[in-house]
Structure 1
Amino acid sequence: MKKVILDLAVTLDGFIEGPNGEIDWCIMDDDMDFDSFLSSIDTIFYGRVSYDAWGNFSPEANASEAEQRLWQAVHAKQKFVFSKQNLNDGKATFVHAAIADKVAEIKAQDGKDIWLYGGAGLIKTFIDLKLVDVYRISVHPIALGAGKPLFENLKERVKLNLIKTNVFRSGVVQLIYESK
């Protein structure tokens, strides 16, 4: 069965965005091998705001070949957008209700794993509904002091089992947990 993987950058003090939504602190080093992660998934789950910002993002024409390839790989995935609004752009499947049932249906299909991209509201919903199977949290060597926290107003404790740790030359430490 497919797994829902939350792959996310977080600051040392636990924020996924700065106070103004900024993510300019995120580091992407070659040794992080993000291409390998992308090749392990065939589906991406977005919230509507994140989808609006990144679901159809195109890098500038003068962007590096690596960035062009990254976005090409992202856009080759099947996309689901979880939104209360009844939208349809022909590029993604929009899910409006019965989130847990739809996720169970998608997980039961043949194929690769699923990337829970976010945003924060969707991540919180998935955590509360116990729909995240794997947490791939990349802790970046910066403290912001304020912003949007990863774990906010949890309904109950989230118990995890550490399965792997990766340390990158940039100082980013990736912690990979499975849900218990």
Structure 2
Amino acid sequence: MKKVILDLAVTLDGFIEGPNGEIDWCILDDDMDFDGFLSTIDTIFYGRVSYDMWGNYRPDENAGPEENNLWKVIHAKNKYVFSTQKRENENAVFIDSDIAETVAEIKKQDGKDIWLYGGASLIKTFIDLNLIDIYRISVHPIALGKGKPLFEDLKDRLNLQLIKANVFKSGVVQLIYEPLK
């Protein structure tokens, strides 16, 4: 069965973006093997705001071949957008109800794992519904002081078990957890 993997960057003080939505502090080093992660998934779950911002993102004309290829690989994945807005879109399936049931059906499909991209409210919903199988949290060596926190207003305590830790040359530490059942 497919797994839902939350893979995202967080600051040392727990923010997934700055107070104005900035993510310019994110580091992507070669030794992080993001391409390797992308090869393990065939589906991406987005919230509507994240999808509108990144779901069809195209690098500018000055982007190098590596960046262009990265986005080509990302855009080749199956995309599901969780939103209260009903919308038709040729590049994604919009889901506006029955989140837990829909995710369970998608997880039963053949194929690779699923990347829970976010945003924050979708991540919170998935945490509250216990829909995340793996937490891959990359802690970046910066503190913002304010911004959008990763774990905000949890309805219940979240107990996790560390299954792996990776340290990268940039100082990013990736912590990989499974929820304790």
TM-score range (shorter-chain normalised) is over 0.9
Matches within 5 A, 1:24-43: 24-43=24-43
* RMSD of Structure 2 on Structure 1 (CA): 0.5
Question: In the TM superposition, what are the counterparts of 1:17-166 in structure 2 within 5 Å?
Answer: 17-166=17-166
With the length of structure 1 as denominator, give the TM-score of the two structures.
Answer: 0.99
Structure 1 spans left out of the alignment, 5+ residues: none
Match in the other structure for 1:4: 4
Local SS of the residue matching 1:137: strand
Aligned to 2:14: 14
1:117-140 Cα distance to aligned partner (Å, 9 max, x none): 000010000000000000000000
Task: Report the secondary structure of 1:57's partner residue.
Answer: coil
Q: Distance in 1 between matches of 2:121 and 2:156?
A: 16
The answer for the alignment partner of 1:179 in structure 2 is: 179
Offset of residue 61 of structure 1: 2.0
Provide the rounded CA distance (Å) in 1 between the counterparts of 2:69 and 2:107. 26
Number of corresponding residues: 180
Secondary structure at the residue paired with 1:53? helix
Question: SS where residue 164 of structure 2 aligns?
Answer: strand
SS of the equivalent of 1:136 reads strand
Look up the equivalent residue of 1:15 and give its one-letter code.
F
Amino acid across the alignment from 1:61: E
Provide the C-alpha distance between the structure 2 equivalents of 1:114 and 1:39, rounded to a whole number of angstroms.
11
CA distance in 2, matches of 1:85, 1:58: 24
Deviations 1:5-40 (CA, angstroms, capped at 9, x unpaired): 000000000000101110000001111000000000
Q: For the residues of structure 2 that align with 1:131 and 1:61, how far apart are their CA atoms? A: 38
**Runs (4+) off by over 3 Å:** none
* Separation in 2, partners of 1:41, 1:89: 21
Q: Which amino acid aligns with 1:79?
A: K
Deviations 1:140-176 (A, max 9, x none): 0000000000000000011111010000000000000
Instruction: Tell me the SS of whatever aligns to 2:8.
Output: strand
Structure 2 gap segments, 5+ residues each? none
Query: Partners in 2 of 1:69 and 1:158 — Cα distance?
Result: 36
Q: Which residue identity lines up with residue 175 of structure 1 in the other structure? A: L
Report percent identity of matched pairs.
74
